[in-house]
Amino acid sequence: MRTTRQRSSEWPKPVAVIDIGASALRAEIAEINEDGTIRQLESLRKGVLLGNDTFTRGELSLESVRAACEVLRGFKKVMDEYGVRDIRAVATSAVREAANSDTFLDRVFMTTGIEVEIIEGPEESRLSYAAIHEALNGRVPFDKGVALLVEVGGGSADVAILDDGEIVHSATLAMGAIRLRQTVAGISTDHAQRTELYKRFIHNAVANLQRDVSLREADHFIAQGGDMRLVARRLKKAVFHDTFHEIDRETFSEFCTQTSRLTRENLVAKYNVSYLEAETLVPALLAYSAFLKETPASSVIVPNASLRRGLLLEMASSQTGRSFEALDKHVLSSALSLAEKFSVDLAHGQHVANTATSLFDALKKEHGLGTRERLFLQVAALLHEVGMFVGMTAHHQHTYYVISAAQLFGLGREEIELVANVARYHRRSTPKREHAGYMRLDRAARVLVCKLAALLRVADALDRDHQQKARRLRFRITEDEFLILVDRNRDWTMERMTLEEKGDLFLACFGKRVALRGV
């Protein structure tokens, strides 16, 4: 649950975060100080292989649900001892993909009082990246050149590519360690044969990724995840740098080769790990090794970072009132990368985005929206013409389909669907009940689409000829008009005509007629 800024007398503030993953349930209890710093109090972990159920049968078994509830009851008891009242609990792919996920969430709430939020791959990546950025910022020069970030979880692998510090591509691949293990277990029981099957599945997934983006230019390889942190702690040749470990490329490759030959029992005995940790180690390391082989990186960087740390950073931002919006630039970079791929007129797209956000800021009292919604508007503005790559006729519909099928860093599927709808309505047509994509949204999302599309339509109208004439805009708001003040010495005939065509949604949403006035 998200919280608001606390009064100064309440600092430091005890909080907790919970990560319900495919192989284990993990929690962090911490104190948030008034300056936004975080002091860790206790870490909790208990293995429950939820992914075994979901990735084989498609739903969580009664036994797994009971086990998870029992673990969470124990976590809650410890949190109560620390006086924790603010808890944010999230679940990833094992719960997200389970047919009975709603039942699971209800059982957890009824048993423990904890509300669990299911998050999608892009949101998971966004939070994990926040923690990685904290751990590596100023220590590893991943803001120069190209960096490949990989996190192999239980159900999926999240991949992001940074170019000079900005995320230009991200993807979530269905090749998590438990998913791989369960897939291969149904084919062979021989360890050597299973290892070869792992490699083939992983090779195919990496090859499919490289159809969209090359990994050959990655100067830095950053490997995130519990299996990699375990390896970094166990590997004597791993160099510790305060907030991350660094492993030489050859050392890591040799370690992966040797480890992949070991059975689960051998891994437990040799590395003093639990059976649950041993279950995922080999497929995870083979995946990391496959990605590393595609890059020229000389070492593997393993940050002391996690999804839980990202959750704590976001809670600290929320409670102190300090910005957590630094990651927005990566969402926008991802959108720009998609725009470039579809040969969008970037000067027009960026100008429309700037104009749209100026309108958004000027109308804050009228729309009552926040920074996240402002980001949705920016992304929709940058991408509103991607459909022209498919064809000029009905390009707004093509735009909807392109965006709704895309992966954008930091945006979940529902958010991408919302952005796709906003971009779709940049043209003449307004939202209608016969539009299936629009009606798939819930009522609140439909209202939001209308408000953001109204702003986008006006911003697009102001750059009707793609000449970026409308700069340094000023506005005047009256009871029944929203006036855009423009240079009287320029010809605005086309823009006025287009506003007449597209201003109807603005009037419906904000109760004001939008018009240009020369000054």
Same fold, 8-119 and 122-309: yes
Least confident of 124-133, 279-288, 306-315: 124-133
Does 7 have pLDDT greater than 50? Answer: no
Q: Which residues contact 230 (CB under 8 A, 6 or more apart)?
A: 271, 273, 277, 281
What pLDDT does 322 receive?
A: 58
Identify the weakest region by mean pLDDT among 6-20, 117-131, 175-189.
Answer: 6-20
Question: Across residues 4-26, what is the average pLDDT?
Answer: 81
Percentage, residues of the chain above pLDDT 90:
67
Query: For the chain, which residues make up each domain, given as ranges?
Result: 8-119, 122-309, 325-465
With a cut of 50, say whether residue 6 has pLDDT above it. no
pLDDT in tens, 214-267: 899 999 999 999 999 999 998 888 899 989 999 999 999 999 999 999 999 999
* C-alpha span between 10 and 8 (Å, rounded): 5
Q: Confidence class of residue 325 from pLDDT cuts 50, 70 and 90?
A: low
pLDDT at 167: 85
Question: Which band of pLDDT confidence, cut at 50, 70 and 90, is reported for residue 4?
Answer: very low
Tell me, yes or no, if the pTM score tops 0.95: no
Structure tokens at 384: 């509103």
* Lookup result for tokens 């083939």: 200
For the segment 426-443, the average pLDDT, to the nearest whole number, is 89
pLDDT given at position 273? 87
Q: Per-residue pLDDT averaged across 137-160, rounded?
A: 87
Averaged pLDDT for residues 144-151: 92
Q: Which tens digit of pLDDT belongs to each residue from 113-122? A: 999 999 988 8
CATH of 325-465, one of 3.40.1010.20, 1.20.120.1200, 3.30.70.270, 1.10.3210.10: 1.10.3210.10
Tell me if residue 4 falls in helix, strand or coil: coil
Confidence of residue 3 (pLDDT cuts 50, 70, 90): very low
What pLDDT band is residue 165 in, cutting at 50, 70 and 90? confident
Q: Residue 399 above 50 pLDDT?
A: yes
Q: In this structure, which topology does domain 122-309 adopt according to CATH?
A: Nucleotidyltransferase; domain 5 (3.30.420)
The fold adopted by the segment(s) 8-119 is: Nucleotidyltransferase; domain 5 (3.30.420)
Closest by Cα among 87, 109, 111, 108 to 29? 87
Spatial separation of the C-alpha atoms in residues 275 and 89, rounded to whole Å: 25
Peptide bond into 12 cis (omega under 30): yes
pLDDT of 1 higher than 50: no
pLDDT at 519 over 70: yes
Higher pLDDT: 327 or 73? It is: 73
Enter the DSSP assignment of 7. P
DSSP letters spanning 156-214 = -EEEEEEETTEEEEEEEES--HHHHHHHHHTT---HHHHHHHHHHHHHHHHHHHTTT--
Distance (Å, rounded) from C-alpha 49 to C-alpha 21? 8
**140-144, 293-297, 432-436: least confidently modelled range:** 140-144
